[in-house]
């Protein structure tokens, strides 16, 4: 199934988080650097940061460069943050920088949510949720980490909603992972659980497809999905549903989902070959990290 959409997956998170008054890039740079300084102090390591935010954490008295084993952390503080602020945003030329588009997700937008509990499935959806949603409180990300348990997110979200009935609980899913436990929509209806599900539908098992693209010359094998009609499944269970295929529809769809008093399934058609970066190839050192 080919997905024709102008929505990039990371944009979905822009509409249900509460942004700091500090521009996103500044916020993340400070947050990451604070962590690095604390990490270095706690382990008696040397912390070096230059004027352009390149960072090395190394054992004292060692060279600390790419081929030096004692390097603990080496990278750039901004590598997972956006490159623009409100003043220099250029969305048309760099669509990944929608974070600070004032008309859409500026700090003045009081409808955005930062206090939600986010559960994830496994794959690209999991990585994007971790990268592009600003978590402001502990224990608000429910994810299986590196265990690869597709299908984890939906039951976890149901449990979280039971425990916190007044919280907004969102399960971020891929079109592959959601099908592992999609039958639990019946559980949601029977128990009147107002959990929300956002499916980032790229028509593929996205993480596996990414590896096949980058390391196997796009020799795709069993990663393209012939998906069911998620709308029919949702409505068949009596659950509110909406499908978004264009960027300009996204803000309204997320607002509608948040306003819904019951369960809601939001399907967002996203770019088929959008990849997750940065990434470290299997068996490679951190210094071989790929940014594209």
Instruction: Determine how many CB atoms are found less than 10 A away from the CB of residue 82.
Output: 21
Return d(Cα 230, Cα 265) in angstroms, integer. Answer: 8
Question: What is the share, in percent, of the chain residues with pLDDT greater than 70?
Answer: 66
Give me the long-range contacts of 155-162 (CB less than 8 A, separation at least 24): 155/181, 155/184, 156/119, 157/117, 157/119, 157/195, 157/197, 158/184, 158/187, 158/188, 158/193, 158/195, 160/117, 160/119, 160/195, 161/117, 161/193, 161/194, 161/195, 162/191, 162/193
pLDDT for res 13: 67
Q: Give the least confident one: 3-17, 71-85, 251-265.
A: 71-85
How much is the average pLDDT of 258-273?
A: 91
Q: What's the pTM value of the predicted model, to 2 decimals?
A: 0.67
Q: pLDDT (tens digit, 9 = 90+) per residue, 21-35?
A: 333 333 334 455 666
Q: pLDDT (tens digit, 9 = 90+) per residue, 157-202?
A: 999 999 999 999 999 999 999 999 999 999 999 999 999 999 999 9
How much is the average pLDDT of 240-246?
A: 93
How much is the average pLDDT of 116-121?
A: 92
């Amino acid at each position: 199934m080919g997905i024709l959409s102008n929505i990039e997956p990371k944009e979905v998170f822009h509409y249900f988080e509460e942004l700091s008054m500090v521009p996103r890039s500044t916020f993340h740079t400070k947050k990451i650097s604070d962590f690095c300084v604390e990490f270095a102090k706690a382990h008696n390591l040397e912390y070096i940061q230059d004027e352009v935010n390149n960072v090395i954490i190394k054992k004292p008295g060692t060279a600390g460069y790419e081929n030096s084993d004692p390097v603990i952390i080496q990278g750039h503080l901004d590598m997972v943050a956006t490159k623009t602020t409100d003043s220099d945003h250029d969305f048309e030329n760099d669509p990944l920088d929608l974070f600070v588009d004032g008309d859409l997700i500026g700090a003045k937008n009081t409808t955005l949510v930062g206090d939600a509990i986010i559960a994830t499935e496994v794959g690209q959806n999991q990585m994007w949720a971790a990268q592009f949603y600003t978590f402001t409180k502990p224990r608000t990300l429910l994810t299986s980490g590196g265990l690869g348990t597709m299908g984890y997110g939906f039951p976890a979200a149901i449990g979280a909603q039971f425990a916190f009935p007044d919280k907004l609980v969102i399960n971020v899913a891929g079109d592959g992972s959601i099908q592992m436990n999609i039958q639990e929509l019946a559980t949601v209806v029977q128990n009147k659980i107002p959990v929300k599900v956002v499916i980032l539908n790229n028509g593929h098992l996205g993480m596996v497809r990414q590896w096949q693209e980058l390391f196997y010359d796009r020799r795709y094998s069993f990663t393209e999905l012939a998906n069911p009609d998620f709308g029919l499944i949702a409505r068949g269970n009596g659950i509110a549903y909406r499908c978004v295929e264009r960027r300009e529809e996204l803000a309204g769809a997320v607002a509608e989902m948040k306003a819904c008093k019951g369960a809601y399934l939001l399907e967002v058609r996203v770019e088929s070959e959008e990849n997750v970066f940065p990434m470290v190839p299997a068996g490679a050192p951190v210094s071989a990290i790929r940014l594209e």
